[in-house]
Amino acid sequence: MPATIRLRQPDDWHVHLRDGAMLEAVVGATARQFGRAIVMPNLQPPITTVAAAQAYGERIRRALPAGSGFQPLLTAYLTETIDPREVEAGFRQGVWVACKLYPARATTNAEAGVGDLMAITPVLETMERIGMPLLIHGEVTDPEIDIFDREAVFIERHLAPLLQRHPGLKVVLEHITTSDAVDFVRSGPPQLAATITPHHLHINRNAMFRGGLRPDFYCLPVAKRELHRLALRAAATSGDPCFFLGTDSAPHARSAKESACGCAGIFNAPYAIESYAAVFEQEGALERLEAFASEHGPRFYGLPLNPGQIILERRPHAVDERLALTDAAGAPVELVPFHAGETLTWQLV
Ligand code: DOR
Ligand code: ZN
């Protein structure tokens, strides 16, 4: 059993950093571990213009701890009315690196998302031409479809036809949760990839109901049956370059999670790399953690690998039940971290 793990510095290819006080409270947790992160645009209002993205990037950089070299990689939020020229201009200027597709009303702040995929055909054609990745929240929103089937149905009804219509488009199916998604991505073309979160590697749907209703394990796409969790673990630890790290860390204040209509999202940023390391160790695949965390993502996005290193030590530590974070003005923000009350074996030094 190794006592330390040295890794090329990883990146997080899917994170929610939010804005304002929440941004100030959480950005340090991501910046401590990751060299770069793909930052989701589902703010209120969503990031749909180059100017809004530039301003958001500035706010992120201002919120970073002093001396941090962390680089936010911004994304555009696709609506049915976004102008393809705006998308292309922001990409060419290096302001944003990808577009995020939320099916309308699929999740937090997805009200302005896309109802009819055909309506964004011109944008997708532009992205295909300029090599700009499309990041997809892959769930149908049809209330007739069982929530546990929404990812698999999306793949069949929407993703497969979309890839046929746009064979050159780079696509990331985000935060996959099913063996259906694993199989689809693995057997797909090289320009198709998927991110996998730490929570979907650790929990199945029982976690939401263990001893009562547990809002801290509610996220979207919702965790599925055990067989799906096992398929995700096999995929993440397989060494296949089409699977890479994306935490989908999605902080909501504890009061917003623990309410009559609790928000979807798991805040895993504080111990994300430790959480992945636990999975890779349990699967006997620690030697493949670096490729998943630090190599497959940049290669897919056509970016250089990070030059730096991080070190994890075998040093069991308890995760706090609650984190009382403070924003830049000193105001408290209470969050429940993923793994609250558990002991993690690896610790980032
Ligand atoms: O659980 C989730 N939370 N899933 C998402 O797709 C969005 C995210 C959020 O922004 O809270
Ligand atoms: Zn997300």
Q: Distances from the Cα of 211 to the Cαs of 133, 199, 206, in angstroms? A: 41, 19, 10
Query: Which pLDDT value is given to residue 326?
Result: 78
Residue 51 has pLDDT above 80, yes or no: yes
Cα 249 to ligand 2 centre (Å): 7
Lowest mean pLDDT among 47-56, 93-102, 199-208, 323-332: 323-332
Ligand nearest to the CA of 39: 2
Report the nearest atom of ligand 1 relative to the CA of 265: 1
85-102: per-residue pLDDT in tens?
Answer: 999 999 999 999 999 999
Q: How far apart, in whole angstroms, are the C-alpha atoms of residue 327 and residue 319? A: 21
Confidence label for 333 from pLDDT (cuts 50, 70 and 90): confident
Average pLDDT, the chain: 97
Residue 1 has pLDDT above 90, yes or no: no
Residue 328 has pLDDT above 80, yes or no: no
Query: Which pLDDT value is given to residue 2?
Result: 87
The helix/strand/coil state of 239 is coil
Do β-strands 343-348 and 309-318 pair in parallel, antiparallel, or remain unpaired? antiparallel
Report the nearest atom of ligand 1 relative to the CA of 221: 4
The structure tokens listed for 69 are: 């070299």
Q: How far apart, in whole angstroms, are the C-alpha atoms of residue 182 and residue 187? A: 9
243-294: per-residue pLDDT in tens?
Answer: 999 999 999 999 999 999 999 999 999 999 999 999 999 999 999 999 999 9
Query: Which pLDDT value is given to residue 140?
Result: 97
Ligand nearest to the CA of 220: 1
Query: Which pLDDT value is given to residue 47?
Result: 98
Query: Which pLDDT value is given to residue 332?
Result: 83
- Pocket lining for ligand 1, CB < 6 angstroms: 16, 42, 107-108, 137, 219-220, 250, 264-265
Residue 31 has pLDDT above 90, yes or no: yes
Alpha carbon 257 to its chain's center = 19
Q: What percent of the chain has pLDDT over 90?
A: 95
183 is catalytic: no
Q: What percent of the chain has pLDDT over 70?
A: 99
The helix/strand/coil state of 151 is helix
Could you tell me the fold of the domain covering 11-307? TIM Barrel (3.20.20)
- DSSP H or E run through 243: strand 243-245
Cβ(196)–Cβ(232) below 8 Å: yes
Q: The tokens 């109802």 sit on which residue?
A: 115
Confidence label for 226 from pLDDT (cuts 50, 70 and 90): very high
Contacts 24+ apart (CB under 8 A), 316-324: 316/343, 316/344, 316/345, 317/343, 317/344, 317/347, 318/342, 318/343, 319/270, 319/271, 319/343, 319/344, 322/254, 323/270
Question: 312 or 1, which is more confident?
Answer: 312
Query: Which pLDDT value is given to residue 252?
Result: 96
The dihedral through the CA atoms of 287, 217, 185, 187 has a sign that is positive
Cα 220 to ligand 1 centre (Å): 6
Q: How far apart, in whole angstroms, are the C-alpha atoms of residue 5 and residue 191? A: 30
Confidence label for 3 from pLDDT (cuts 50, 70 and 90): very high
